[in-house]
């Protein structure tokens, strides 16, 4: 694993994307088959997280992948208020417990692991690998692959319109997350935000098409606007 990372960091990232998508999709399906949704997904998530974090720690790559505190004044990040608004999006239509508590707990655990792994893979492995050639391309690819990757939700029965909207706003939020990592040097705000978004979705009741569109537009505007602001401030501060 170390040799592949050192020689072909981009392919190392791609390999992790493939492993993540395939194993989580399979675990979700098998969990449904045995009648305990997300049970195997949590197990797979814990295993992959342990392997990836172990690899990062063993090779002294924590700071390189942003597993550290935010660098810089929080004021320059607007105290992450726009990120907090984005993080709350799944609750805009209200919250409700629509399944037994133990199943909801499993779902929340799975969603938190998804947040951790996707940030480590897309904002860690893929972004850092591509930064070696071009930061601009790295930001674009990290954002778009993160958004487009949600198309797999169609395979799990998600509605077409909701999935298409998700591709758009997830790309915008991915851009925002990437900007935070690039300028702030820390992946933790993104991990926490991602985990909160996912966890709140577990308790989100079914919403109208109109509300889905409004939420998607708001997240897209906030994601792109906040990400652009952070990159602008980062560039301005670097020139001073």
Measured CA to CA, the distance from residue 109 to residue 132 in angstroms comes to: 34
DSSP per-residue string spanning 168-222: HHHHHHHHHHHHHHHHH--SHHHHHHHHHHHHHHTTPPP--HHHHHHHHHHHHHH
Residues belonging to the chain: 240
How many of the other CB atoms lie within 10 Å of CB of 114?
19
pLDDT surpassing 90 at residue 163: no
Give the tokens for residue 25. Answer: 């999709």
77: Cα within 13 Å, side-chain hemisphere: 22
Q: Compute, in degrees rounded to 10, the torsion defined by CA atoms 95, 96, 102, 108.
A: -20
Measured CA to CA, the distance from residue 15 to residue 118 in angstroms comes to: 13
**Residue-level pLDDT at 41:** 97
Whether 201 and 98 have beta carbons less than 8 Å apart is answered as no
Give the tokens for residue 173. Answer: 């939020």
pLDDT surpassing 70 at residue 186: yes
What pTM was estimated for this model as a whole? 0.93
- Three-state SS letters, 38-60: CHHHHHHHHHHHHHHHHHHHHCC
Give the mean model confidence (pLDDT) for residues 47-55: 97
pLDDT surpassing 90 at residue 23: yes
Measured CA to CA, the distance from residue 171 to residue 155 in angstroms comes to: 19
Q: What is the mean pLDDT of the chain?
A: 92
Max CA-CA distance within the chain? 59
Instruction: Give the start-to-end residue ranges of the domains of the chain.
Output: 63-239
């Amino acid at each position: 694993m170390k040799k592949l990372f050192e020689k072909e960091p981009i392919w190392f990232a791609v390999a992790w994307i493939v492993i993540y998508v395939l194993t989580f999709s399979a675990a979700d399906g098998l969990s449904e088959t045995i009648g305990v949704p997300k049970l195997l997904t949590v197990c797979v998530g814990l295993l992959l997280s342990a392997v990836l974090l172990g690899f990062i720690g063993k090779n002294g790559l924590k700071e390189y992948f942003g597993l550290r505190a935010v660098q810089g004044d929080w004021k320059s990040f607007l105290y992450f208020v726009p990120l907090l608004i984005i993080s709350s999006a799944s609750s805009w239509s209200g919250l409700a417990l629509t399944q037994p508590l133990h199943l909801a707990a499993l779902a929340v655990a799975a969603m938190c692991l998804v947040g951790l792994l996707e940030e480590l893979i897309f904002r860690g492995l893929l972004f850092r690998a591509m930064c070696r050639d071009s930061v601009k391309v790295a930001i674009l690819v990290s954002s778009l692959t993160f958004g487009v990757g949600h198309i797999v939700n169609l395979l799990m029965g998600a509605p077409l319109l909701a999935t298409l909207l998700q591709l758009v706003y997830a790309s915008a939020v991915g851009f925002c997350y990437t900007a935070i990592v690039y300028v702030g040097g820390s992946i933790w705000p993104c991990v926490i935000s991602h985990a909160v978004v996912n966890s709140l979705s577990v308790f989100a009741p079914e919403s109208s098409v109109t509300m889905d569109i409004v939420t998607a537009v708001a997240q897209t505007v906030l994601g792109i606007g906040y990400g652009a602001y952070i990159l602008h401030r980062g560039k301005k501060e670097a020139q001073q």
